[in-house]
Amino acid sequence: MVALYVYERMPTDRGTDRRSYLKALAAGSVVTLAGCTNTGDGGGDGGDGGDGGDGGDGGDDSTPTDEPAPQIVAGTAPGFPPFEIKQDGELTGFDVELFEAIVEESEYEFGGWKEFEFDALIPSLRDDKIDAIAAAMTITDKRDNAIDFSDPYYSADQSVIVREGGDFSPSSLDDLSGHPIGAQKGTTGESVIQEQLIQENKLEESNYNAYDNYTLAVQDLENGNIDAIVLDQPVGATFADQRAVVVSFVYETGERYGFGVREGDSDRQQAINQGLQAVRDNGTYEELRNEWFGSN
Ligand code: ARG
C-alpha cells in the first residue's frame, strides 16, 4: 500500500506507533490528492497538489460515509529548522508533525501540505489555496487584521547569527551598523531590521539583503557576502548546530507563534485550538518538543 510504503522510507522513525500511523496517513493524503482527485485541479504537479476532491481516507475504507470529511490543506515555508524542513525530499519538522497530530484530533481530514515562500502564505490562505498556515508564524497585530490565528503554540525571541570563527561578534543591534546583513522577506526578523535599524538611520537600506528563505541567507553568511542574519532564536540555534555559524546575541521580542486560518473561519480555528489542547493533554506536544528541540 502506497501510504505505508512512503512512510517506511522516511528516515526519522523516532515516534510512537500512533504517530507512525499519522505520518503514513499524511503521506497517503498527499499521494491521493496528487494522483486521484476526481474534481478540482489535482493533476499531480507535486508541489501544488490540487484543491478539490475528497482526498481519500489514507487507505482504511471500513467506514463508508456519504459526505466526505471537511479538509484542512496546510501551507508552510520550509528551510526554517527545526520547524519546517525538507529531509531527503520529505517535508518534516516540529510544525509539520505537530499540525498533523492536531488535525488528527479533529473532525477534519488532513488534506496534505503545500509549500510557499513565507511572504506568500497569507495571500495564499486568503485566496483559498490553503486552509491553514503552519510556519512558525508570529502572531502580530498586522497579520491578525488579515487572517485569524489559533491559540499560541510556541514562544520565541529573535537572535543575530554570524560566521563561526570570524572577528565580527556584535552584542547589540547597534553593532550591526555599517555591516551588510540579511533576513527572510516578510518575517519579524526583517521588521526588526527595518524598524530598529533602517528607520532609526542606524543602517543604510543598501546594507539590508532580503532573502526568500533563511537557508539562502545562511549560505551568503558562510560565504562572506553578508556579516549577520536576524532570525528567530530557535532557528538561529539550530543553524549554529548544523552550519558554520554561531549565535552572537539574542534580541528579546517575546513572539508567540500561531497557526493561521482564514478570517472568520471559526470552525477550523476552533478545531485547531481543541486539537492543540488535546495534544498538550495527551503528551504528544511534549514528545514532539523533545524530539525536535532536544538540545536547544
Ligand atoms: N516567526 C517569524 C515570523 O513570523 C519567522 C517565521 C518564518 N517561517 C518560515 N517558515 N520560514 O515572521
For the residues 16-27, what does the mean pLDDT come to?
A: 44
Q: What is the pLDDT of residues 250-290, one digit of tens each?
A: 999 999 999 999 999 999 999 999 999 999 999 999 999 99
Q: Are 283 and 96 in contact (CB under 8 A)?
A: no
- Centre of ligand 1 to C-alpha 23, Å, is 24
Q: What is the pLDDT of residues 206-256, one digit of tens each?
A: 999 999 999 999 999 999 999 999 999 999 999 999 999 999 999 999 999
| Three-state SS at 3 | helix
Q: What is the pLDDT of residues 54-70, one digit of tens each?
A: 444 444 555 556 677 89
The proportion of the chain whose per-residue pLDDT surpasses 90, expressed as a percent, equals 76
- List 71's β-bridge partners, or say none: 109
Taking the C-alpha atoms of residue 220 and residue 224, their distance in angstroms, rounded to an integer, is 6
- Centre of ligand 1 to C-alpha 215, Å, is 13
Q: What is the pLDDT of residues 5-20, one digit of tens each?
A: 333 333 343 444 444 4
Q: Against a cut of 0.85, is the pTM above it?
A: no
Handedness of CA 99, 100, 104, 107 (dihedral sign): positive
Alpha helices for 147-263 (secondary structure H): 188-192, 214-222, 233-242
Is the minimum distance from the CB of 118 to ligand 1 under 6 angstroms?
Answer: yes
Mutate to test the pocket of ligand 1, among 86, 154, 187 (most ligand atoms within 8 A of CB): 187
**Could you tell me which residue, 67 or 100, shows the higher pLDDT?**
100
pLDDT on residue 275: 98
Is the minimum distance from the CB of 137 to ligand 1 under 6 angstroms?
Answer: yes
- Centre of ligand 1 to C-alpha 280, Å, is 22
pLDDT on residue 93: 98
Is the minimum distance from the CB of 208 to ligand 1 under 6 angstroms?
Answer: no
pLDDT on residue 63: 57
